[in-house]
Chains A and B, each alone.
Chain A
Amino acid sequence: MSSALLPKPQMRRLLARRMKFHLFGAFFVSVGCAALYKFGIAEPRKRAYAEFYKNYDPMKDFEAMRAAGVFESAPPK
């Protein structure tokens, strides 16, 4: 140990400082995760469904499936 004084360490508000740091961190991490999910997964999925049903003709789809022979009660013509 040197004879010179050490700098005085932080004595007070230790928990307050830690809590502030972690409150901000938790908030931004959770908001970030939510945003990532929304714009990475939810929005593309909504777009995919919108695109699919924009020009969807169910009867045409049915006839294609019937022609392939997958229906028991609706055999190919």
Chain B
Amino acid sequence: MFGFSSKKGQKISSLAFLFYRRVENSVISLLYVQCLHLTLAYLLLFCPDRMLASRAFSLIGKRAISTSICVRAHGHAGVVKAEDFSLPAYVDRRDVPLPEVAFVRDLSAQQKALKEKEKASWTALSVDEKVELYRIKFNESYAEMNKGTNEWKTVLGGVLFFLGLTGLILIWQKHYMYGPIPHTFSDEWLSAQTKRMLDMRINPVEGISAQWDFDKNEWKK
């Protein structure tokens, strides 16, 4: 299909390219999906907690929000309604390059006219018309779909915040709640304890007795 040398052939293949890119990107993402599915299976098998399962599944389907934003941005008339959950659905997934249905279900008059024009020769289509046809069939392009977010900053910030908060709680606990530590932590007891360990030659090869100079009676430099 890509052996075209004529101008007419190249214009046809430019339309097909938009669709082929979706197939190309899906192969690698299938590997990730395999690992993800294995992890999910493991989680579901060994952690029958329902909350954990739903949290794990949210890894896959977290792009539901962007659908409505894109619809507003491109001014499409039709959006898949919630009650059609039993019918084949459109989905923006890296490993599903060509979803079962087109994104736009109810075409406006203008879009219907364009679909009629698509039945004729594709060389007659302008670039904007080709893009409009793509947007009728697909919601986000692969580039838009794979775009990263700044979510990691929120996650990291939340983690650090709660670590700090926990630290404050621990400080309060040590100051107001806990009693005194055992007498075996006093300096006198610890030095007597260390002296006894050295007398017994504890860990003489690589450990504490190896750090003590027995001839000079001091720690090795």
B28 near A15 (CB under 8 angstroms)? yes
Q: Chain B interface residue count: which class? A: 20 to 34
Knowing A15-B31, A48-B205, A64-B214 touch, does A5 contact B10 (C-beta < 8 A)? yes
B10 near A1 (CB under 8 angstroms)? no
A38 contacts partner chain B, Cβ-Cβ < 8 Å: no
Q: How far is the CA of A64 from the CA of B214 in the complex (A)?
A: 10
| Additional A-B contact list (9), CB under 8 Å, known A61-B201, A68-B199, A70-B200 | A1-B131, A3-B127, A5-B10, A11-B20, A15-B27, A18-B31, A48-B206, A52-B205, A65-B201
Name the interface residues of B3-55: CB closer than 8 Å to any CB of A. Answer: 10, 14, 17, 20-21, 24, 27-28, 31
B199 near A65 (CB under 8 angstroms)? yes
- 22 pairs of residues in contact across A and B, judged by CB atoms under 8 Å: A5-B14, A6-B17, A9-B21, A9-B24, A10-B24, A14-B24, A14-B27, A15-B27, A15-B28, A15-B31, A18-B31, A45-B206, A48-B205, A52-B210, A61-B201, A64-B201, A64-B214, A65-B199, A68-B199, A69-B199, A70-B196, A70-B200
Q: Which residues of A contact B17 (CB under 8 A)?
A: 6
Name the interface residues of A17-70: CB closer than 8 Å to any CB of B. Answer: 18, 45, 48-49, 52, 61, 64-65, 68-70
B200 near A65 (CB under 8 angstroms)? yes
B204 contacts partner chain A, Cβ-Cβ < 8 Å: yes
